[in-house]
Amino acid sequence: MRLIVTGGAGFIGSTLVDMLCADGHEVTVIDDLRRGSRENLHPTARLIEMGVEEPGIAAVIHEVAPDAIFHLAAQIDVRSSVADPLADAQTNVMGTINLLNATCSAKVPKLVFASSGGAIYGDTEIVPTPETHSLLPASPYGAAKGSGELYGSAYSSMYGLAFTALRYANVYGPRQDPHGEAGVVAIFAQRMLERKSVVINGDGLQTRDYVYVEDVARANVAALTSAPGSYNIGTGVATSVRDIARGIAHATGYDAEPAFGPARPGEQRRSVLDISLARAALGWSPSIDLETGIALTCDWFAARART
């Protein structure tokens, strides 16, 4: 198949591109390289250096004429969305609308959208949280991801686009940015390997659902041939930030105690996803447990430090 992956030079996107190329698909990556890296690109993938909010996206999609598009390009920093909601919306809302317009104009039949299972639900009383829960985002980032799903649903109704939203839990693994907000596992792994101090924001008892990046890539592949809909992609297991820090310390041999800083604005207290619908409809379930995933991630960061 001919496929487009927006954000395909980034952390999750490049892992997906590797999987698609290994399966023999012809993959075009659209990425402005603000967060992505050429180093992440699979050698057989074609790169178009462009942001999804740019007018030229339509010409690219018409020229490639893909069988499906995976839309992973995004502004992913919750703190940045709080500080500058307009900039966040420019990429995550207007960029998504621009892509949807181009997708339907080129009569592409399928689009898989990277949504956020944590940010769009907000703090909930139902944990693990199912897809039927109301969307109560606590940040502009979450609101933008929810908007992307609503626009996708509208374009599905108007033009017959097969639109699937994958609501990711907290994704971690190799290639994650250790210098940004969106990646506590990567941040802690790099700092502990370098024997630098680690700061936990808040009391560290806030919980998240941590899912390994290759499992997320497999969910995208499964969505390519599955029925449209919105699906949680996580593990259904709650893990506190303190437990994450302990696990990474064990994997890296780090023996210092973490410090504690102020909680971040817009941060949820707990987020765990019910993944039963993805199991039933996509035939997908996570295969990498947290201990194994942390070990693989720390090994990747350690190997990169040696090169």
Q: Which two tokens stand for residue 133?
A: 């829960």
Q: Helices in 171-289 by DSSP H: which ranges?
A: 184-193, 213-224, 241-252, 276-281
- Judge contact between 257 and 158, C-beta under 8 A: no
Extended beta strands in 102-141, E state: 110-116
Q: Which two tokens stand for residue 179?
A: 């210098």
What DSSP element (H or E) covers 109? none
Backbone angles phi, psi at 223, to 5 degrees: -65, -25
Amino acid occupying residue 249: A
- Closest by CA to 232, choosing from 303, 86, 126, is 126
- Judge contact between 242 and 200, C-beta under 8 A: yes
Active-site hit among 141, 151, 210, 254: 141
For the chain, the straight-line distance linking the first and the last C-alpha, in angstroms and rounded, comes to 35
- Judge contact between 61 and 80, C-beta under 8 A: no
DSSP SS3 for 168: strand
DSSP SS3 for 5: strand
> Which residue is it, tokens 């809909």?
229
- Closest by CA to 6, choosing from 59, 65, 55, 49, is 49
- In the residue annotation, 141 being an active-site residue is answered as yes
Task: Write out the catalytic residue numbers.
Answer: 141
